[in-house]
Chain A
Amino acid sequence: MTDDTVLDIRNLSKAYHVRRGGKNHEVRAVDDISLAVRAGETLGIVGESGCGKSSLARAVMGLTRADGGKVIHDGVDLLTLDRRSLARARLRIRMVFQDPYASLDPRRSVGDSVAEAGDIHGIFESSAERKRLVGEALDRVGLGAGFADRFPHELSGGQRQRVGIARAILPEPELVIADEPVSALDVSIQAQVLNLLAELKNRLGLTLLFISHDLSVVAKISDRVAVLYMGRVVEIAPARPLFSDPRHPYTELLIQAIPRPDPSTRITGAIDPDEPPSRFARLAGCPFRDRCPRRTEICATDAPELREIEPGRFVSCHHA
């Protein structure tokens, strides 16, 4: 941990207990994850469904109770805070959700939704100030103060996500956690919202934790990227080198699978199914080994540690 760390996630774990086929299974959604988010950076978290990326965000925000580990912000472990102090901390760490349809209350005006956190914590000194700050937040996301009186059903998907961003930035947070913020949007709208996030980050000096399944989006917006597989971090690297020169075989597989708008890399025929193993089965060794072209005996017995292979690049693979 360096001095510029805004959020220090240490050995965070979260397991869910699922009953399937008459047996209890433990699914380790977040399995001993450590990450340091630095001031002013965009840290991308990428992985496929079930890799633990949303569980990680929810555990950090205290929306679900972590089983172990620490989440340190401003010298305080957020996981030890009582409800009231945690709510206060959440003014400094705000979240943007995937589905702007589900995360806005249909009966509240846009202005009331944007002001909600401020109302709860009494940060507005007068109704004039409330109006001013709401208008300012709506201006910043490119909607304009006039949207305060509208209702969610009057807005397009892109406009709703801008409202979601406005409500996140209103209390002037230090860190914004965006969980799949553009995944429900059409590509032309997705580009607008990604540009908005990049611009706000610069203008407001935000730190951004950007979570997505889409590696090309993550690589575009992030300074550094952490790749998750089955609840563990398998690789962390600056975005460009990660994309051009992946070191973990799973990162490589992920990059190769991205459909590129380039007909010279055509899909020519069927390949046999190759999917992640069941989350109910606990594996010893490396979680990726069954799909890995580099696997050897050690992969079946020893779980690889995340180690620094060159400055700033971390990989958990015995053969990286």
Chain B
Amino acid sequence: MTGAHTTDPILSVNDLVVAVAGRIKIVRGVSFDIAPGEILGLVGESGCGKSMTSLAAMGLLPPAIGVTKGRILLGGTDITRLAPHERVERGCGRIAMIFQEPMTSLNPVLRIGDQIEEAIRVHDPDVVPAVRARELLDMVRIPDAAHQLSAFPHELSGGMRQRVMIAIALACRPSVLIADEPTTALDVTVQRQVLGLIRELCDTLDMGVLFITHDLGVVAQLADRVAVMYAGGLVETGDVVPLFAAPLHPYTAGLMGCLPDPDSDDPLLATIPGSAPRPDEVGDGCPFAPRCPRVADICRRGAVPVRHTDTGQAVRCHFPLNGEAST
């Protein structure tokens, strides 16, 4: 499920399969590309495999979970089985990652400045750490940088802590930033500010961004392209505008329908009946079939082919919502 690009992708994931103990697949044949300066929104509900996809790209999969198939290319180099330090040695660019809760990633007993400088010393031995740390705090628009460098993490607000995490992520001058639900724990007004910062950094540093979220609203406002994930696989990809204007997969459309629309007169929300299958419950057919309003016998038998549209969308469904999709 890859779209056409004018520039070469900086991160390319091809038919990635991640499995627990080599048997239970939690990521099933996921493919996507991210170009420099592009934000790909990877959206899905909890347990759909979106975080495992990103950890595979980072080379940070937990023990007993591994890549059993597929390739991850960073700047054209296959990094699928390279440890993080080997990636650096081969000069194939860098991936940095930020997480939902910055407090669990920051050391509570070290000053902010020391933690940023530590990352600078590891990745950028030729610069003066204190100078570069100031520069990084300016880049993430933390006001009064000199004063904040001597603060401890608990003295900062959640939004400021996430800005500090982004500064630490930028210390390695990454070509790809993976952001895993980075604003989910923040208040909406602060969320919007941090999203704006990520957009700006993506544009000015020409980074590729893999933005992982459960929130379709965030994806619509931030991402250039969207990949929707369900039960370990991508069900739909496309550019953000056509995908939100006319979702093709019944799951994508169902998710959009579940969002409360304050302007609607209907007192009830649309729902998707049932719940997502566990990884060990997914069979050969379409994993969404048990919950799908358009299900037919064919959906339960064998792999579902990907169809492409002239709007650049790709959908893995026998009966997409727009009948014009061709195989």
Contact = CB atoms under 8 A, between A and B. Distances in A.
B310 interface: no
Nearest to A272: B141
Interface stretch (B109-117, B127-135, B211-219): B211-219
Contacts of B216: 187, 261
Interface of B is mostly: helix
Contact of A187 (B143, B197, B258): B258
Interface string B198-229: 01110100000000001111111110000000
Interface residues of A, number: 46
A220 B157 CA distance: 30
A261 B272 contact: no
Contacts of B187: 48-49, 213
Interface of B: 45-46, 141-143, 157-160, 163, 187-193, 195-197, 199-201, 203, 214-222, 240-241, 244, 254-263, 267-272, 275
Leading 10 A-B pairs by shortest Cβ distance: A259-B217, A220-B260, A48-B187, A270-B200, A191-B258, A186-B45, A191-B269, A219-B262, A188-B272, A257-B188
B193 A261 contact: no
A239 interface: yes
Contacts of B199: 267-270
A239 B264 CA distance: 12
A83 to B, nearest CB: 36
A275 interface: yes
A257 B192 contact: yes
A275 B190 contact: yes
Contacts of A198: 267-268
A72 interface: no
A188 B271 contact: yes
A14 B80 CA distance: 55
Given A195-B268, A259-B215, A261-B220, A254 B192 contact: no
Given A187-B214, A187-B259, A257 B191 contact: yes
B228 to A, nearest CB: 12
Given A188-B271, A216-B261, A259-B217, 10 more contacts: A48-B187, A188-B254, A188-B255, A195-B268, A195-B271, A220-B260, A259-B191, A262-B220, A267-B192, A270-B201
Nearest to A291: B189
Contacts of B141: 270, 272-273
B262 to A, nearest CB: 4
Nearest to A268: B199
Interface string A201-223: 00000000000010111011100
A244 B262 CA distance: 9
A186 B254 contact: no
